[in-house]
Amino acid sequence: MTRSQIKLRKQNLLAIQSDIREISLAMKTAESCFNETTDEDLLDALIYDRAALEARYNYLIRELKALEEPVTR
């Protein structure tokens, strides 16, 4: 693996880690909003938002694991 490939891999890793932190915070916020609202329409929207955040989070975790795997030549 060349230096530029290693550098790009590290940049991707840092970007994914940052995205995971942002998604985690958004998930906590969505959970808090869900627990505090009583409006049925808003609850439906929050359920869909939460499902979308969880799907994105799971995708990012898979990407992170793939990047963390050792590189074979």
Residue showing tokens 């694991």: 65
How far is 69 from 64, CA to CA, in rounded Å? 9
Q: What is the pLDDT of residues 5-41, one digit of tens each?
A: 889 999 999 999 999 999 999 999 999 999 999 999 9
pLDDT at position 70 over 80: no
- State the pLDDT at residue 71: 65
- Give the torsion sign (CA, 5, 7, 8, 12): positive
